[in-house]
């Protein structure tokens, strides 16, 4: 059950620090912060659930305890998603914030016609004619794509940040369930997740169990940025909202793989509590993944969240599909090799064989997912009898090296090439949205300790993560987040 009036009052009075300022920045400058908050929520949850060691702090000189309320940060991160909900959330009783109303209601009836002047969908007339009974079962000339989430100050439904955010929140719930349970945020997080995954299920159109289309974007950033006001009042006539879908005609395995991962995570999380919903999420995730393999390619972005590749998103999906099913083929899809050690799976996009060297400085993000892939895959790979020892060693190297790079710990290869830091020690990979990368690295560090608690570096990693979170929440020269 979503938080009630008491939670709303807390939001009104306590929505401060990094979460409030991120939201205000989004509304003022149209910056994209959904991906920031997802990683921050995940990292906060991990820090609550895992904790840090006093002995580790004594040896490393790093902070081992939070200076601010991590449970409150986790709660407020989830309120952010309540505030971003699109569609009929108010009418159906899924909007706990009294000041939010229904919005973008025209998305429930996107004109099912070839795209022209930001009206319609990127489907050919022949495709629409062939599959009209599946795309428009009510025969009202529309695609039903309502729901989902606003993207920070925008009202566009962007595919990659949505499915990324869903999978990262779900990853944190999977990795650190006790944190969400102890802070009484599990049900709230599940409400957030279900609003995501309901959208992904609705936007997947299938025939006889096979995907024919997956619609991943509604609206155009270039149009939406001309509107300044509440999403509830945005005129869909003045600011039309078109749609973009992955089809055999217009492949988008980056979008398809990313959505499949989020659905697979949800299938795992609901496997015991809601078996029918879990089964639906899993079957749809499997169908999307198969569709992405059959029709590889990069989807439309309109200049917003352009994808650099699709292989890491498909590998992210395969990782969670393995967790959901135990099907070894998904591991082979990622890390399969020939007898000579040449990679045949998704990893071949980054390394040619088990002797290849690769150092990944870019953490888990809305675009590249390799940081998350190796963080989650590493413990699975180490216990997989079907993987050669050289593959296992390489996966662990990729996982550990990236965290060493961020935490300024000597790397497995002996290197000391570290991420740049601010004068106060905050890790900065990129000046645009630096917190999203930093908190994603924190999540990877927390996951590493969770999976490899006896590794000598694990406590140092999590103490580093705590220090970075403290900085973000106000332990800095300006005393603000």
Task: Return d(Cα 370, Cα 349) in angstroms, integer.
Answer: 11
HSE of 305, CA atoms in CB hemisphere, 13 A = 29
Task: Give pLDDT, residue 46.
Answer: 78
Task: Give pLDDT, residue 433.
Answer: 87
1 confidence band (pLDDT: 50, 70, 90): very low
- Residue 50, pLDDT above cutoff 70: no
HSE of 260, CA atoms in CB hemisphere, 13 A = 35
Q: How far apart are the first and last CA of the chain?
A: 30
The two structure tokens encoding residue 390: 């050289």
- Residue 21, pLDDT above cutoff 80: no
431 confidence band (pLDDT: 50, 70, 90): confident
- Residue 329, pLDDT above cutoff 50: yes
The two structure tokens encoding residue 391: 């593959």
- Global confidence as pTM: 0.90
15-24, 33-42, 234-243, 430-439, range with the lowest pLDDT: 15-24
Looking at residues 225-229, what average pLDDT do you find? 92
Task: Give pLDDT, residue 453.
Answer: 95
Question: CB under 8 Å to 263, separation ≥6 — which residues?
Answer: 197, 200, 201, 281, 282, 284, 285, 288
Question: CB under 8 Å to 359, separation ≥6 — which residues?
Answer: 401, 402, 405, 411, 415, 417
3 confidence band (pLDDT: 50, 70, 90): very low
Task: Give pLDDT, residue 41.
Answer: 78
The alpha carbon torsion through 185, 402, 465, 321 (nearest 10 deg) reads 10
Which CA distances in Å does 13 have to 17, 33, 94? 12, 21, 22
- Which of 395, 342, 350 has the alpha carbon at shortest distance from 368? 350
pLDDT tens profile 351-402: 999 999 999 999 999 999 999 999 999 999 999 999 999 999 999 999 999 9
pLDDT tens profile 250-288: 999 999 999 999 999 999 999 999 999 999 999 999 999
HSE of 353, CA atoms in CB hemisphere, 13 A = 6
Q: How many CB atoms lie within 10 A of CB 4?
A: 9
Q: How many CB atoms lie within 10 A of CB 233?
A: 9
Identify which has the larger pLDDT, 27 or 288: 288
The two structure tokens encoding residue 91: 């009418």
| DSSP assignment of 181-215 | HHTT-HHHHHHHHHHHHHHHHHTEEEETTEEEEEE
The alpha carbon torsion through 54, 447, 451, 461 (nearest 10 deg) reads -40
The two structure tokens encoding residue 64: 């081992």
Looking at residues 52-62, what average pLDDT do you find? 41
27 confidence band (pLDDT: 50, 70, 90): very low
pLDDT tens profile 142-163: 999 999 999 878 899 999 999 9
In the chain, pLDDT over 90 holds for what percent of residues? 81
Going through 169-311 in order, the beta strands assigned E by DSSP cover 204-207, 210-218, 243-246
Number of H helices, E strands in the chain: 18, 5
222-226, 316-320, 401-405, range with the lowest pLDDT: 222-226
Which residue carries 């879990």 as its tokens?
Answer: 278
Helix-strand-coil split of the chain, %, nearest 5: 55, 10, 40
In the chain, pLDDT over 70 holds for what percent of residues? 89
- Residue 413, pLDDT above cutoff 90: no
Task: Return d(Cα 287, Cα 386) in angstroms, integer.
Answer: 25
38 confidence band (pLDDT: 50, 70, 90): confident
Identify which has the larger pLDDT, 178 or 27: 178
Q: If you compute the radius of gyration of the chain from its CA atoms, what whole number of angstroms results? A: 22
Looking at residues 328-343, what average pLDDT do you find? 97
417 and 411 Cβ atoms separated by less than 8 Å? yes
Looking at residues 39-60, what average pLDDT do you find? 59
Question: CB under 8 Å to 432, separation ≥6 — which residues?
Answer: none
Task: Return d(Cα 258, Cα 321) in angstroms, integer.
Answer: 12
Beta bridge partners of 244: 217
The two structure tokens encoding residue 449: 């300790």
Task: Return d(Cα 188, Cα 194) in angstroms, integer.
Answer: 10
Task: Return d(Cα 306, Cα 431) in angstroms, integer.
Answer: 18
35-49, 254-268, 303-317, range with the lowest pLDDT: 35-49
Q: Which burial class, exposed, middle or buried, applies to 436 when counting CB atoms under 10 A from its CB (0-12, 13-18, 19+)?
A: buried
Beta bridge partners of 111: 142
Mean pLDDT of the chain: 89
3-state secondary structure of 225: coil
Which residue carries 């990069």 as its tokens?
Answer: 298
- Residue 93, pLDDT above cutoff 70: yes
Task: Return d(Cα 259, Cα 310) in angstroms, integer.
Answer: 12
Looking at residues 41-47, what average pLDDT do you find? 78
Helices 186-202 and 253-269: angle between axes, nearest 10 degrees: 140
Residue 291, phi-psi category: left (phi > 0), alpha (psi -120 to 50), beta (remainder) = alpha
62 confidence band (pLDDT: 50, 70, 90): low
């Amino acid at each position: 059950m979503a938080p009630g009036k008491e939670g709303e009052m807390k939001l009104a009075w306590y929505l401060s620090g990094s979460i409030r300022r991120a939201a205000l920045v989004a509304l003022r400058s149209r910056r994209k912060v959904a991906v920031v908050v997802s990683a921050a929520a995940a990292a906060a949850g991990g820090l609550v659930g895992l904790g840090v060691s006093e002995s580790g702090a004594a040896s490393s000189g790093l902070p081992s305890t939070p200076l601010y309320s991590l449970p409150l940060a986790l709660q407020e991160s989830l309120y952010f998603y309540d505030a971003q909900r699109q569609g009929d959330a108010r009418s159906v009783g899924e909007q706990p914030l009294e000041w939010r109303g229904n919005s973008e209601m025209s998305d429930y009836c996107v004109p099912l016609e070839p795209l022209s002047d930001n009206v319609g969908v990127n489907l050919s007339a022949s495709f629409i004619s062939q599959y009209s009974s599946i795309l428009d079962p009510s025969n009202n000339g529309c695609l039903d794509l309502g729901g989902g989430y606003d993207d920070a100050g925008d009202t566009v439904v962007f595919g990659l940040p949505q499915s990324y955010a869903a999978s990262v929140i779900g990853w944190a719930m999977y990795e650190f369930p006790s944190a969400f349970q102890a802070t009484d945020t599990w049900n709230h997080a599940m409400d957030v997740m279900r609003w995501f995954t309901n959208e992904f299920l609705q936007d997947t159109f299938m025939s006889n169990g096979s995907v024919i289309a997956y619609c991943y974007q509604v609206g155009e950033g270039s149009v939406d940025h001309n509107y300044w006001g509440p999403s509830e009042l945005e005129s869909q006539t003045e600011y039309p909202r078109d749609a973009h879908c992955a089809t055999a005609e217009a492949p988008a395995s980056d979008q398809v793989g990313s959505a499949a991962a989020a659905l697979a995570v949800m299938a795992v999380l609901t496997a015991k509590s809601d078996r029918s919903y879990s089964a639906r999420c899993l079957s749809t995730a499997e169908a999307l993944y198969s569709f992405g393999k059959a029709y590889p390619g990069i989807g439309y972005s309109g200049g917003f969240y352009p994808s650099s590749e699709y292989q890491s998103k498909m590998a992210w999906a395969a990782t969670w599909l393995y967790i959901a099913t135990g099907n070894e083929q998904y591991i082979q899809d990622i890390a399969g090799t020939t007898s000579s050690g040449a990679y045949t799976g998704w990893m071949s996009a980054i390394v040619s064989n088990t002797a290849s060297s690769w150092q990944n400085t870019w953490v888990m993000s809305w675009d590249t997912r390799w940081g998350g892939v190796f963080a989650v895959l590493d413990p699975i790979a180490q216990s997989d009898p079907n993987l050669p020892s050289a593959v296992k060693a390489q996966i662990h190297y990729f996982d550990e090296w990236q965290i060493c790079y961020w935490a300024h710990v000597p790397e497995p290869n002996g290197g000391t090439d570290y991420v740049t830091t601010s004068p106060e020690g905050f890790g900065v990979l990129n000046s645009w949205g630096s917190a999203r990368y930093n908190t994603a690295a924190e999540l990877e560090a927390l996951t590493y300790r969770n999976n490899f608690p006896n590794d000598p570096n694990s406590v140092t990693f999590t103490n580093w993560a705590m220090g970075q979170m403290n900085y973000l929440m106000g332990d800095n020269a300006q005393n603000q987040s």
